[in-house]
Structure 1
Amino acid sequence: MGDPPAYTIQPLGPETWAAFDAMVQRHNGIFGGCWCIWFHPDGPERGQGAEANRSLKKVYVEQGKAHAALVMDGDEAIAWAEYGTPTELPTIHHRKEYDATKTSDPDYRITCVFVDKRHRRHGVTELAIQGALDLIAQAGGGVVESYPHDLTDQTKKMSSSFLYNGTRRLYERLGFTYDRPKGLKNCVMTRTVDPA
């Protein structure tokens, strides 16, 4: 048996757009052509099809308004964890309930995690989230929220393809604390990240 792959973390940006673009295209635009723009501010392009979503995401990346930790296997992106400020990522599921139960806004949100289907079930999700936390630390740190699936009391197994932001247990392993429920199957988890 050989050594496990030596993955690296790279920030999403104009220099890594091609690798991100290739990964999303390998998966038909992700979730029906979303291109991971659902959490960004609403605009005329959003929801107008995969190519419009792709163009909008590229503009956000070029403007420095889209952030993600890319897990790289050599030159190939194999996963990402999207993060950003509440201004950059205002659209979250169960927003009405979230707003009614919050006491303050976080400095950052982790909203979406995706792993190439060839690399699932190998701990890559955790690497992507840790990569996002490291990049947040480099940007000055702060309070980070995420909204994973809370499968604590669920007896029926859920397909990993539907776990767009990981699970409560995963975030607990990464030092997050459970804050409150959000919707039927999600929750709010928080962690304070020190500056690097």
Structure 2
Amino acid sequence: MSTESVAGTGRTYEIRALTSETWDVFADLNERMGGLFGGCWCVAFHAEREDHVPGPEGNRAFKKTMVEEGIAHAALVMDGEQAVAWAEYGTPVELPDIHHRKQYDAEKDTDPDYRVTCIRVDKARRREGLAEVALRGALELIAAAGGGTVEGYPHDLTHVTKKTSSSWLYNGTRSMYERVGFAYDRPKGMKNCVMSIEVPPAR
């Protein structure tokens, strides 16, 4: 466990890894948010398996199984005993099904050690800087696991003039990743991009 703070607010949050022991607080956050997009339970980027039953309840069970097997990872942002945000991360083997994958595979030089695929914040707690707290938390957990090259695929709003609802920013924004230290690599799709950072192992 570690802590992360929101700059300029004095607020500090505990970071916990998603494990069997923290499943209940993760599930509570998802249930408060209606299971995310159509009840996806954040399984969309995982490799499909025969034991995955489609639908919200099947997605929930599938996610829980992968957590128990140690192949589904996330940084949970805790406010007291309640999770208020999380960032999903994992290896490319664990999270192969990213958006715009055909383009990504055609343009990549190599795969990263880890990728961040989804960052979500409790809809009652948005615009408090918690997405950035979750991203920093994910990098801390990756450092604790030995570090490596980490990619993220945020929304690039550099040339977007129309306001975008935060509910659709499933992986944060380019500017947020830049604040955390990621470097821009290339565009991906119409409004996303590839960014990366080298995370040293924790001492």
**Is 1:108 equivalent to 2:99 in the alignment?**
no
Post-superposition shift, 1:186?
A: 0.3
Unaligned 5+ runs, structure 1: none
1:47-106 superposed Cα distances (whole Å, 9 cap, x missing partner): 710000000000000000000000001111110000000000000000000000000000
Tell me the TM-score normalised to structure 1 length.
0.96
Query: Does the 8 Å CA contact 2:53/2:62 hold for their aligned counterparts?
Result: no
In structure 2, the residue matched to 1:89 is 95
Query: Does the 8 Å CA contact 1:10/1:69 hold for their aligned counterparts?
Result: yes
In structure 1, the residue matched to 2:165 is 159
How many residue pairs are counted as aligned between the two chains? Answer: 194
In structure 2, the residue matched to 1:77 is 83
Post-superposition shift, 1:137?
A: 0.3
Identity %: 62
Unaligned 5+ runs, structure 2: 1-8
Post-superposition shift, 1:42?
A: 1.1
Select the residue among 44, 53, 57 that pairs with 1:51.
57
**Is 1:98 equivalent to 2:104 in the alignment?**
yes
1:107-148 superposed Cα distances (whole Å, 9 cap, x missing partner): 000000000011100010000000000000000000000100
Instruction: After the TM superposition, list the runs of 4 or more consecutive aligned residues in structure 1 that deviate by more than 2 angstroms.
Output: 3-6, 43-47
Distance in 2, matches of 1:70 and 1:37, equals 16
Select the residue among 146, 159, 183 that pairs with 1:140.
146
CA RMSD of the aligned region, Å?
A: 1.2
